[in-house]
Structure 1
Amino acid sequence: MDLKLYVSDTCGFCRRVKQYIDEVGRTDVEYINISHSQEAADELVRVGGKMQVPCLFIDGNPMYESLDIIQWLKDNPQN
């Protein structure tokens, strides 16, 4: 499964998701920081349809809202 989490430096909701990932020790989520890459920001809008973080791409399908992302991660633990 391909997991990419789009985040920004100033987003508290992003910090919430990243904190959860760190707490459970997941290593299968790739972080993509749109604060450091205009190309990543453009890709987020192109694929996801809006400039909103956090956004977890699950095999290319976007999921928004930090609590929804955390719940999905809980329901789909790393193998």
Structure 2
Amino acid sequence: MTDITLYHTSTCPYCVQAERLLSRKGITAINKLNIAQSEALRDEMITRSGRRTVPQIFINGQHIGGFDDLARLEQSGDLAPLLGLKP
């Protein structure tokens, strides 16, 4: 099973788009961490990703980046293998 962590805020449209893209790929088990609710989660996200913006997406512990990075992986055909899916 693929482990996906999505650092987000509830008002972020790119976070919603990232979740929708993953959902279209059949991924519904997402560990969503709302950084607006916890300074510790925000600090954890920054430490893990080196970035301050949301979303920050990790697949099986690998930092993917934000929504634009996720969308580029989808367009190139590289997302499905990362998710353990057939292209």
Using structure 2 for the length normalisation, give the TM-score.
0.69
Structure 2 runs not aligned, ≥5 long? none
Give the alignment's Cα RMSD to 1 decimal.
2.2
Count of matched residue pairs: 79
Aligned twin of 1:18: 19
1:5-41, Cα deviation, whole Å (9 max, x unpaired): 1111221111111122333431232111111222211
**Comparing both chains, which one has the higher relative contact order based on Cα–Cα distances under 8 Å and sequence gaps of 6 or more?**
1
Give the gaps of 5 or more residues in structure 1.
none
- State yes or no: 1:41 paired with 2:47: no
Cα 1:73/1:45, change in 2 over 3 Å: same
User: Residues of 2 paired with 1:36 and 1:78: CA distance?
Assistant: 31
1:57-72 alignment to 2 at 5 Å?
57-70=58-71, 71=74
Q: Structure 1 stretches (4+) deviating beyond 6 angstroms?
A: none
Bigger Rg, which one: 2
